[in-house]
Amino acid sequence: MATKLWDKGFDTNALVEDYTVGNDQELDMRLARYDVQGSLAHIRMLETIGLLTAEELEVLVAGLEQIAREIEAGDFMIEPESEDIHSQVELMLTRRLGDVGKKIHSGRSRNDQVLVDLKLFLREELREIATEVRALFDRLQELSEEHKAVLMPGYTHLQIAMPSSFGLWFGAYAETLVDDMRLVAAAYDIANQNPLGSAAGYGSSFPLNRTMTTELLGFETLHYNVVAAQMSRGKSERAAANAIAAVAATLGRMAMDLCLFMSQNFGFVKLPDSLTTGSSIMPHKKNPDVFEIMRGRCNRLQAVPNEMALMLTNLPVGYHREMQLLKDILFPATEELKRTLRMADFMLSNLQVNDHILEDEKYNYLFTVEDVNRLALNGVPFREAYREVGMQVQRGEYQPTREVHHTHEGSIGNLCTEEIRQKMDRVMSDWATLV
């Protein structure tokens, strides 16, 4: 029968056990590989300070590496009697190796074990999110260049405003992802600090070598102050949640645009029939369900930072058990964002653009600003040019020239695609130094 890491010879009430453990065992399966990584670094350090012999270290390393192989092969599980991943790994080592398996916890608390696991998990998840963001960015830039000459209406207040282009629209979302990537990199930087050795949040009387475990685990630096290390529980998750929410906000807004653009009243873009859904009673319907679901999922992801903030509000210093509920919020969010990024890339790769939108006369008023500016460039004071064109509109006499001459940086005629790419490359370069 499994025992808990804190076992002192008495049993916890079954109802209390079920309520406090919750679905930790299921969630902890995602931490399994990282728990083994943390334990391998910890025991190598323990050997250097005399808490393990060289022979014991060799046996424990072999035992942990065997567990790691089982995890990767899908042959690992957390037994019902085990409270969490940490209990399960120690239990397996003790069963297989005897009392030496019980030595891996020296100088360590479950608190800093969880912190190490979570930070290693966050680093990997944020790396994967960054990869997916970059892939979508590249797709958007490709589409921006491909359709840079295709004009479309621009709107303010959802009213026809000025000429835009698909190159400008795709490029806008590409550049917005650059800012989102900065937040992803910042979240990675916050997670990239080693808390191991902080124990329960107040350090240890063992002569631990925390610099050694920092190097073994590939962390950029230490969480030096042991109390600060424990206070990072929740802070690292919130930083990641804010990055996730930023990317989701961009994706959700793009999805909303595409829902509008696909409607017959707009007719700017369309999808192959196989990527739309129908109606049970209206045979003509081709609905943009993917973009609607994407919009809803992204709205939910934007709520994640607030949910975490409420969970952590006014907690005093030190560990508190409700912090384990952060996993229940964070783990699904990272998976949902990666899935949504991949779907956005797939859908955009199949998007078909209408090349002749502005031929419809209802878009004539898009060109009023162009004509005002044309008069101003020819010497007419701007306010007089504005009034002249405005009165033509009021009298129903306005006839647009339908000419667009935008040349400044970032405009229809000068998208600065390469400059935007360089911005993303700089962020990715900074990211590489963190990784």
Confidence (pLDDT) at 2:
47
Confidence (pLDDT) at 25:
74
* 371 and 269 in a common domain: no
2 in a domain, yes or no?
Answer: no
DSSP 75: -
Measured CA to CA, the distance from residue 375 to residue 426 in angstroms comes to: 41
Confidence (pLDDT) at 4:
54
Domain containing residue 354: CATH number: 1.20.200.10
* 146 and 33 in a common domain: no
Range of the domain at 370: 361-394
Helices (H), 263-303: 289-301
In this structure, the strands spanning 221-222 and 269-270 are unpaired
- Averaged pLDDT in 10-residue chunks for the chain of 435 residues: 50 60 76 96 97 97 97 92 87 94 92 94 96 97 96 94 95 98 96 94 94 96 94 93 98 97 94 83 82 96 94 85 88 96 97 93 92 92 93 92 90 95 92 64
158 in a domain, yes or no?
Answer: yes
* 284 and 234 in a common domain: yes
Which of 25, 18, 6 lies closest to 105, judged by CA?
Answer: 6
Phi, psi of 267, rounded to the nearest 5 degrees: 70, 35
DSSP letters of 122-180? HHHHHHHHHHHHHHHHHHHHHHHHHTTT-EEEEEETTEEEEEEEHHHHHHHHHHHHHHH
145 in a domain, yes or no?
Answer: yes
Helix (H) or strand (E) holding 352: strand 352-353
Which of 333, 404, 304, 307 lies closest to 363, judged by CA?
Answer: 404
8 in a domain, yes or no?
Answer: no
For residue 163, the cross-strand partners are 153
422 in a domain, yes or no?
Answer: yes
Measured CA to CA, the distance from residue 186 to residue 209 in angstroms comes to: 27
* CA 419-421-422 angle, 5° bins: 65
* 365 and 412 in a common domain: no
Say if CB 107 and CB 197 are below 8 A apart. yes
3 in a domain, yes or no?
Answer: no
Confidence (pLDDT) at 352:
96
Specify the number of domains making up the chain.
Answer: 3
Q: Pick the last residue of a domain from 53, 81, 106.
A: 106
* 200 and 84 in a common domain: no
238 in a domain, yes or no?
Answer: yes
* 263 and 390 in a common domain: no
Measured CA to CA, the distance from residue 420 to residue 423 in angstroms comes to: 5
In this structure, the strands spanning 193-194 and 221-222 are parallel
Say if CB 366 and CB 403 are below 8 A apart. no
Confidence (pLDDT) at 1:
44
371 in a domain, yes or no?
Answer: yes
Q: Pick the last residue of a domain from 49, 78, 106.
A: 106
User: How far is C-alpha 6 from the geometric centre of its chain's CA atoms?
Assistant: 35
* 289 and 426 in a common domain: yes
Say if CB 334 and CB 240 are below 8 A apart. yes
Say if CB 262 and CB 270 are below 8 A apart. yes
Which of 42, 30, 10 lies closest to 84, judged by CA?
Answer: 30
* 375 and 349 in a common domain: no
* 422 and 322 in a common domain: yes
Domain containing residue 54: CATH number: 1.10.275.10
Say if CB 209 and CB 45 are below 8 A apart. yes
* 265 and 278 in a common domain: yes
* 232 and 345 in a common domain: yes
* 350 and 237 in a common domain: yes
Question: Which amino acid does the sequence have at 192?
Answer: N
Measured CA to CA, the distance from residue 127 to residue 218 in angstroms comes to: 14
